[in-house]
Every structure is written in C-alpha cells, then in structure tokens.
C-alpha cells in the first residue's frame, strides 16, 4: 500500500493537473462555383476574442480601442474582397461545379512548466491536407495517398519567408508571448498592447488560406 501511495504521488494521482493556456484560431472557407463563404473565430485562454462571419470581423474582447480596431476591420475587409475576386477569376479559368471546404486551425499552448507547443493544420474537404512543422519551419503533406496538388501546394508554400520563417516566428514567439503575458497577470482581459499581434496572426492565417485555396482552384485539383 505504501508503494502504491508513493507511486500515485509521483504520477499525480488524485491531484488536478493544471491545464495549459491556449490561443487558437479556426478559419473556414467554403467555395462553390466561384462564390466564397467565410467563417472563423479566435479564442484566448478559452475566451472568445474574435469572430469572422462572411466579410465581417468582430472584436468580442476589448483588445483594441475603437480607432485602431476600425483600421483592423478595414484591412480584413479589403483582404476578403480581394480573395473573392481572385476565386472568381480562377473559377472563370477552371470552372468547378463541386463544393470545396478548406479549414485552417492554428495556435499555441503554454504549459505550467513553461514549455510551449505551437501548431498549424490545414484540411481540404475535411481531409488532412498540410501541416506546418514549427521547429523546422517546414510544410508537410498530410493527404492520404498521392495527390499532385498537395505536393504542388507544399512546394509553393516553402518558397516564401512569410509562409515559413515569418509563420514560425508568429507561432513560436508572438503566439506564446500572448500566453506568457496572460499567465503573468490576473483580472479581466485587457491586452491592448498585444492586440496588433493577435490581429497580425489572424491576418497571417488568412493570407495562407488564400494562397492554399488559390493554388487548388488554379490547378483544378491537378498539376
């Protein structure tokens, strides 16, 4: 019995394990015959911080003052407008009569012992498509079996610093610093000094989303 108690103590039996702090984003895009529909959200340590509904992005937590937030909203609206126009152009070149779903899921976790873990995953039509290996700043294919467009998308994403080194910095440094600041303070979320970083991460994910979906549409599903 004594040995069992000692073992249980070493393994933390009967004690609550502190959950990691998290910052996550989910970006969903549906494309059908050249029309794009957007949905998404971001949460900081379990609290909803932003919502994306079509071309409207809403700040749920008061992370930025009204004037700064208005500029962020305009940036996102401009991007989504350009995205729609690009998809429409691709559809004229290579018409597709089936629905496509692209999902980007990214974020980071900060554990009680100070270690962190970041991730970025992309699914296409609800099947794993690509993932970003944060430590090496490399994109990896996740599609089961051979799919030429997955290899093509991987090669294209590996060409640009914004989709490799810059993304690695966002996930490893920016995202984790948000959680470190959250861990170091108490009370309600204010975080105004961190808001540009949060929105920067959102815009970065949208840029990658546009590139990945644009590659797929432009190739018509094959290379």
pLDDT, tens only, 148-201: 777 877 887 888 887 888 888 888 888 888 788 777 764 444 444 455 555 555
Query: Does residue 10 lie in a domain region?
Result: no
Structure-model confidence comparison of residues 218 and 134, the more confident one: 134
Q: Report the DSSP pairing between strands 138-141 and 127-133.
A: antiparallel
Chain position carrying tokens 């794009």: 36
Whether the model clears a pTM of 0.85, i.e. scores above it, the answer is: no
CATH number of the domain bearing residue 26: 3.30.500.10
Q: Helix, strand, or coil here: 100?
A: strand
Measure the CA–CA gap between 132 and 167, rounded to whole angstroms: 9
Residue 16 lies in a domain: no
Kind plus residue range of the DSSP H or E element containing 66: helix 66-93
Q: What is the tally of structural domains in the chain? A: 1
Range(s) of the domain holding residue 152: 21-186
Distance CA 219, CA 150 (A): 11
The answer to the question of residue 54 being in a domain is yes
Establish if 53 belongs to a structural domain: yes
CB neighbour class for 102 (10 Å; exposed up to 12, middle 13-18, buried from 19): buried
Alpha helices in 94-146 (DSSP H): none
How far apart are the C-alpha atoms of 52 and 182, rounded to whole Å?
A: 23
Instruction: Determine, yes or no, domain membership for 14.
Output: no
Cβ atoms of 120 and 132 within 8 Å: the answer is yes
pLDDT digits (tens, 9 = 90+) for 23-64: 888 888 888 887 888 888 888 888 888 888 887 888 887 766
Asked, for residue 192, whether it belongs to a domain, the answer is no
Residue 200 lies in a domain: no
User: In the structure encoding, which two tokens stand for residue 176, read together?
Assistant: 């984790």
Is 12 a member of any domain?
no
Mean pLDDT computed over every residue of the chain: 74
Measured distance between the N- and C-terminal CA atoms of the chain, rounded to whole angstroms: 65
Q: What is the pLDDT of residues 113-147, one digit of tens each?
A: 889 999 999 888 888 988 999 999 999 999 887 77
- pLDDT class of 108 with cuts at 50, 70, 90: very high
Q: Supply the DSSP string of 6-20, one letter for each residue.
A: HHHHHHTTTSPPPPP
């Amino acid at each position: 019995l004594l040995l069992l108690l000692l073992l249980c103590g070493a393994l933390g039996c009967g004690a609550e394990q502190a959950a990691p702090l998290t910052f996550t984003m989910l970006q969903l895009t549906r494309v059908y015959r050249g029309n794009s529909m957007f949905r998404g959200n971001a949460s900081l340590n379990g609290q909803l911080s932003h919502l994306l509904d079509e071309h409207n992005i809403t700040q749920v937590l008061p992370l930025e003052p009204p004037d700064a937030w208005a500029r962020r909203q305009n940036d996102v609206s401009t991007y989504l407008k350009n995205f729609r126009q690009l998809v429409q152009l691709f559809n004229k070149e290579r018409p597709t009569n089936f629905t496509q779903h692209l999902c980007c899921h990214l974020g980071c976790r900060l554990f009680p012992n100070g270690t962190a873990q970041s991730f970025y995953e992309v699914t296409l039509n609800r099947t794993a498509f690509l993932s970003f290996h944060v430590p090496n700043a490399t994109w990896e294919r996740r599609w089961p079996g051979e799919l030429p467009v997955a290899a093509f998308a991987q090669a294209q994403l590996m060409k640009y610093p914004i989709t490799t080194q810059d993304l690695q910095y966002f996930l490893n440094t920016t995202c984790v610093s948000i959680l470190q600041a959250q861990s170091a303070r108490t009370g309600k979320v204010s975080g105004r000094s961190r808001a540009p970083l949060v929105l920067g991460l959102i815009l970065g994910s949208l840029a990658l989303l546009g590139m990945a979906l644009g590659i797929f549409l432009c190739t018509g599903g094959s290379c």
